[in-house]
Amino acid sequence: MKHFLKETDLQSHQVAEVFALARDFKAKGGRHTPPVLANQTWALLFFKSSTRTRVSFEVGIHELGGNPLFLNRNDIQLGRGESIEDTAKVLSRFVHGLIVRTYDHSDVERLAAAGSIPVINALTGFLHPCQIYTDAFTMAERWAPKGGDLLGSLKGRKIAFLGDTACNMANSWVLGAGLFGMHVALAGPAGFEPMAEFLALAQKEGFGDAYSFTTDPMEAVKDADVVYTDVWVSMGMEDDAKERLVQMAPYQVTEELLGAAKPDALFMHCLPAHAGKEVTQGVLDDPRCIIFDQAENRLHTQKAIMAVLAQQARA
Ligand code: CP
Ligand code: NVA
């Protein structure tokens, strides 16, 4: 059984297929995509809030001919102590795929190990791979000539990731940079270097050189093709909010910082954004800001990921 729990879980031909399908799905529009999930139900099991991920998966499953089933952890017996393993085994008897948003990354690994259906990581405290594939696709749309080589257009590009450099998005960007032949320059406060547990994974994947860390935001944005940020207080980090807002203030993406990147650099953010905190309103209003293309592309990219996993599950 094939799962998508981290960026490197797909083989290289499947990565290429995801990008090609996403471009095709986007060009054709929702109602014209092949019904690869016909007569299937895919469940979304969420332990955390979501706007983009929940809506794009629900709409995407519908557009692929399937039926989405949203399950809030607290509404099912999992919230009252039923085990992850029994939940996976029971859901596997009813549904054809499982999309999970949770705190502990081990939850998605345990669901995948115990069940018999594909599991997709829709964000853990450790990684957010659906977002990275979408973001890379969104960049490639800008950089590849029409009908040209999407993945090839990413090679050698530099992303500056500013702010909470120890969060799931920063981790995922290190894996994404390694996978797509890019470099991510992380700039955040001392003490927010990628955690040892994550570095062990990055090194195991051979991506130890795909990132650098600095406390100087100007150094990170120099020659960057993309300036990227995320919230300073991720879900689950609310107790540290006050301290984080002070520690991360020097890493706010301002017009000055964006202006110090390449002249045609893009600004990206996985969203939700907080104007006046991790980014200024001026940057959000700048034509180089492509955050809503990113949000839309969640739909097309995740449909492509589901189509590839469903095809493999059938094989
Ligand atoms: N970027 C992202 O995953 O957004 P949501 O939390 O709204 O799903
Ligand atoms: N780092 C953020 C991403 C939200 C999409 C969080 O985990 O809350």
Q: What is the pLDDT of residues 174-219, one digit of tens each?
A: 999 999 999 999 999 999 999 999 999 999 999 999 999 999 999 9
Pocket of ligand 2, candidates 169, 229, 239, 294: which has the most ligand atoms within 8 Å of its Cβ, to mutate? 169
270 included as an active-site residue: yes
Tokens, residue 264: 């045609």
Contact 125, 47 (CB under 8 A): no
3-class SS of residue 169: helix
Rounded to the nearest angstrom, the distance between the alpha carbon of 50 and the centre of ligand 2 is 9
Tokens, residue 150: 């999407």
pLDDT of residue 33: 81
Domains of the chain: 7-127+295-314 (3.40.50.1370), 131-289 (3.40.50.1370)
pLDDT at 141 over 80: yes
Kindly report the pTM of this predicted structure.
0.98
Separation between Cα atoms, residue 293 and residue 297, nearest integer Å: 6
5-32 pLDDT, tens digit each: 999 999 999 999 999 999 999 998 877 7
Rounded to the nearest angstrom, the distance between the alpha carbon of 220 and the centre of ligand 2 is 21
Separation between Cα atoms, residue 78 and residue 14, nearest integer Å: 33
Rounded to the nearest angstrom, the distance between the alpha carbon of 19 and the centre of ligand 1 is 20
Q: Which residues line ligand 2 (CB under 6 A)?
A: 123, 167-169, 230-231, 234-235, 270
Proportion of the chain in helix, strand, coil states, percent, rounded to 5 = 50, 15, 35
Among the residues of the chain, which ranges form H helices? 12-28, 52-63, 84-94, 105-114, 129-143, 168-180, 196-204, 217-221, 241-248, 255-259, 281-284, 291-314
Percent of the chain with pLDDT strictly greater than 70: 100
101 included as an active-site residue: yes
CB neighbour list of residue 282: distance below 8 Å, 6 or more residues apart? 254, 255
Question: With the CA atoms of 261, 157, 11 and 104 taken in that order, what torsion angle do they form, in degrees rounded to the nearest 10?
Answer: -20
112-134 pLDDT, tens digit each: 999 999 999 999 999 999 999 99
131 included as an active-site residue: yes
Q: For residue 131, give the ligand 2 atom closest to its CA.
A: 5
Residue nearest to atom 7 of ligand 2 (CA): 234
Identify the bridge partners of residue 197 per DSSP, sorted by sequence position: none
CB neighbour list of residue 215: distance below 8 Å, 6 or more residues apart? 187, 188, 189, 190
Q: Which ligand is nearest to the CA of 271?
A: 1
